[in-house]
Amino acid sequence: MPSPSQTLCGTVISAGKMMKTVKVRTTKQVYNSFLRKHFTAHQSHLVSDPNSSLREGDVVRIAPGWRASKHIRHVVTEIVAPWGPALEERPPVPSMEALADERRAKHKAKSERILAARQRAGASDGHGRDEGPNLKERHTDVIGGPEVVGGEERVVLEKEVEVR
């Protein structure tokens, strides 16, 4: 979970126009040293709302998360003050741990699909290279490549690699 200094509190200004995304406006005080006065500065963030549980006017707490798209970099962590329907009538806001578990599960499923597709295609990984236990050895038998031996770098002209 992000530290309290990383979390921001803001108001939802646009909801329901983008899928699983809302726009949240945060405010902060900025000091103008010339005028010697504080002014309110606004900043808008596109925030991921996985269950579409936010409505316009809600006061929410957001935290930086992974990039869901090019501009969406924050995730809703909690609804501080709802506006409109009560919280019991809305879908719950998932915790950061639940979101991370879901992301890991998706990544694992994708990795399994990729491996299954590679196995169906044969021993090739789609780039004309052999795949299997000798993949590392194939990269180490480069002729003319640098090799560090005894603290100094030398160019290897010939090298034998044991193939299993």
**Lookup result for tokens 């925030």:** 47
Buried b / exposed e along 56-88 (16+ C-beta atoms within 10 A) = eebebbbbebeebeeebbbbbbebeebeeeeee
pLDDT score for 3: 76
pLDDT score for 137: 43
pLDDT, tens digit, 9 for 90 and up, residues 85-132: 898 999 999 988 898 899 899 999 999 999 999 898 875 555 555 555
pLDDT, tens digit, 9 for 90 and up, residues 136-152: 444 444 444 455 555 55
Report CA 18 to chain centroid distance, whole Å: 19
pLDDT score for 145: 47
pLDDT score for 36: 97
pLDDT score for 122: 78
pLDDT score for 14: 96
Residues 6+ apart with CB under 8 A from 129: 135, 138
pLDDT, tens digit, 9 for 90 and up, residues 2-39: 777 789 999 999 998 999 999 999 999 999 999 999 99
pLDDT, tens digit, 9 for 90 and up, residues 102-112: 989 999 999 99
Structure tokens at 107: 């990544």
pLDDT at 135 over 50: no
pLDDT at 153 over 90: no
